[in-house]
Structure 1
Amino acid sequence: MSLELRRRSRSDKVEPRRPSSRKTTETNTDSCGGCSDVIDKVVKSYSQTWKRQDDNFNKFRNQLSSRCNGFHKAIVTQTNTPVGTKLIYDGEKKKSLQVNQDIFNTFLKGNPFSNKSLDTCAVVGNGGILVNSSCGEAIDSAQFVIRCNLPPIENYRTHVGNKTDIVTANPSIFMEKYGALMGRRRPFVESLTVFGKAMLLIPAFSYGHNTPLSMRAFYSIEDFGSPIRPIFFNPEYLQKLSAFWRSQGLRAVRLSTGLIMASLALEVCDNVHLYGFWPFGNHPHGLAPLTNHYYDDRQTKKKFHAMPAEFELLLKLHSQGVLKLHLGQCSPQKLPSPALSETKQKKLTPG
């Protein structure tokens, strides 16, 4: 299924705290640039009764684990990356860094994941499809919640939830919003309060300029006594993960954060639920125009991310019962327990 889709033009300004949630009208089909046929195909595939397929899940997890070993290698730790280790930047493969004692001291002592797989995990993307979705309760009911790129959640809890166990941060945010942490650092640390004791996952070793920014973030958090825990992606894991998805047919310069975290969740969680993953500018149910993110309409850097292609792969995994994509409104119930009977699960309204 080809999911090539031209995003709609968004020339109108959108208030950051009140994303567009306009009702569906007859003109929506025209405004999405003839997207209805593509989205109809997606909805048709998505609307099939979803059932977890243990064989498919275990097969895919085993493939992912054998190639990437994210459970043990996704995060650099003092156990898997001792002093003297040569780290090769996954975004600048000709550049490397030898781990010295100071850098080693910023690493976690051991594996951040328990030896036993987590039960239910929610990976929350930032797509505008979450606007008015009422998915907050379902998201917070997951045992483990992963969020991407330090998203605002305080004014959106009904729709995106509040619970956070891992939140990612691109060092570019430190540069753009907090002056590269060269001046006052308190605003940065205070902005993390909403995430509580979550782990702050940073790609410190993807590009050379990421490392000093990430170290300043680590020391700022430490100096101000914040309960959030900075951890760093292992660049070797990111390289292997990129190679894995290439073997699955994905052609992208770099993987999106959402796909990276969904991949990690599939290794460490037995039941993976995805929210806010919708790469198109129109809602799947009615084609109403959507903002790019649930909190603003800022565009992504398209030269790096192959969003529609990534979504096609995730939709395939959904159809195979490997993970569960939630599109549109969430039902008032919490995430179904794996112990629920098939009959009871069929009664739940798809999210």
Structure 2
Amino acid sequence: MNSDEQTMAGEFVVKKLKKVIAVCAAVFFILVSVHYKLIRPQPVVIPTKDHLHDVSYTRMFNHNKPLSRRPNKTEAGDKALITKIQDFQSKRHKGKPKQVHLTPQTDVNITDIKRIFSTTWRENKTNFMSIRSEIDSLVNTHECFTVTQENTKPGENLTMAHQDKVSRTVFHDIHARLPKESPFKGVTFPRCVVMGSSGLLANSHCGSEIDNADYVFRCNMPPIKDFKDDAGARSNLTTMNVMSIVADRYHLLFNSLEEDKFLRDLEEYSGHFWLPVFGMGSTYSFGLRVLRFLDTKLNGTNLEVLVGHPEHFRNIKQFWEAKGIVHRPSTGLYLTTTAIALCEKVDLYGFWPLPIDIHGNQVKYHYYEDKPSPTIMHDFHLEFLHLAHLHERGVIQIHAGKCKDDLKRH
């Protein structure tokens, strides 16, 4: 074969390869588009103040029947695939306004909510002890809320909190840095506060009430330094979702600048810093990296790192599944349940997932920022209905308005 023939053969092969690549790209684009249409959540409709009396959420509660809910499409979807599709969507719409979508939420009757929170709250110790007994029958929170040397052996495999068929190892170096026993063993707090991050906290002036508690739980590192008057400054246990918080705020601790920013933000908190290292198999390695990083950086500080015990979370999930919440409990619901087991009285602040309050005023998603609601995997409305029911029964107290100290100033 002479040189001309070789050149022609080479050009023929290149043309064929280009055609194959073009066909493959077209097939990929079609497949992604089809998947995107199938699993994209529908945009939420935010009611306004004018719609207050027209909000036709379904009947809030029938105490004699189990709660029903609409299926959550993202729960059945592949999380990795959804992430890829969302990345694909963001690239397609680069430079255009970003449309925010929410996982379908259970309908809420705002009239029933208004009735519940317009009534004077009364503690019912009998109902409280009944719920606590149910929780205690499933798990000993005082000893099993966190992974310790006492309840875990070095080299033991723990089943993931969110994956019953996946387990990961408690390595010897991790076991060695665990507390010997639970810091909650034999301890009961008189009054606990569980903090949410709802925009309902803005201008509430509840800070002093919150800080007067004996123990304060905070979810997912909410900023508090600049919001002390409304959200308080005290923190005894603060949680952090390993992937969403570290990935979104600190870019996976990619460099020293992000590490320094992370450590500076941690200075706002004291007491215990709770990590769900054994949450999912796919995030376990990164959770270990964060745990080991903090172990070297927090010596001599006011923070002690605790690792959440996955069996405790699964038992709490089982408790709520029996009551109709079949999706994964949010951190707020999980900590509220934990607090009922550890405390004599439980107060909730910043727990309000609805876009309007009982007076029809718009409510931001978070008290510390103006960003819209993100795509979520929890049915916050259904959880809120259950918590409102516990509030109505005198088991917990949800604070849904201005605090008394603020009212006295006027």
Q: TM-score range by the shorter chain?
A: 0.7 to 0.9
- The equivalent of 2:99 in structure 1 is none
* Structure 2 partner of 1:239: 314
Q: Deviations over 1:242-262 (max 9, x none)?
A: 11101012132x111100000
Q: TM-score under structure 2 normalisation?
A: 0.71
Change (3 A) 1:45 1:102: same
Correspondence 1:1-351 to 2 at 5 A: 8-9=45-46, 28-30=49-51, 34=55, 38-172=109-243, 173-184=245-256, 185-195=259-269, 197-224=270-297, 225=299, 226-252=301-327, 254-284=328-358, 286-296=359-369, 297-302=371-376, 304-332=377-405
In structure 2, list runs of 5 or more residues that go unmatched: 1-42, 58-107
Cα distance in 1, alignment partners of residues 357 and 349 from structure 2: 14
| 1:139-197 CA distance string (max 9 Å, x none) | 000000011010011111110000000011001211222232242122211110011x3
Distance 1:234 1:32 in 2: 44
**Structure 1 runs of 4+ off > 6 angstroms?**
none
Counterpart CA distance in 2 for 1:300 and 1:251 is 21
For 1:33 and 1:234, how far apart are their aligned partners in 2? 44
Identity %: 29
Contact 2:196 2:351 survives alignment (8 Å)? yes
Secondary structure of residue in 2 paired with 1:194: coil
Distance in 1 separating the partners of 2:391 and 2:53: 25
**Residue type matched to 1:242 in 2?**
K
SS of the counterpart of 2:373?
Answer: coil
The C-alpha deviation readout for 1:294-322, integer Å capped at 9, x for no partner, is 112342433x2011111111111111111
Unaligned runs of 5+ in 1: 1-5, 11-26, 334-347
Which one has the bigger helix percentage? 2
Greater length-normalized contact order (CA 8 Å, ≥ 6 residues apart): 1
Aligned length: 310
| RMSD, aligned CA | 2.3
What is the distance in 2 between the residues matched to 1:32 and 1:230?
47
2:143 and 2:185 in contact (8 A); partners too: no
CA separation in 1, counterparts of 2:145 and 2:375?
A: 24
Tell me by how many angstroms 1:238 deviates.
0.9
Is the CA contact (8 Å cut-off) linking 1:106 and 1:218 kept in structure 2? Answer: no
For 1:114 and 1:73, the matched residues in 2 are separated by: 9
How far, CA to CA, are the matches of 2:325 and 2:224 in structure 1?
31
What's the CA shift string for 1:86-113, capped at 9, x where partnerless? Answer: 2011222221112220121232221121
- Distance in 2 between the 1:46 and 1:30 partners? 19
Q: Taking structure 1 as reference, are residues 223 and 103 closer, same or farther at Cα in structure 2, changes over 3 Å only? A: closer
Q: Higher mean Cα deviation, 220-229 or 321-330?
A: 220-229
Asked if the contact 1:139/1:145 (under 8 Å) is kept, the reply is yes
SS of 1:146's partner is: strand
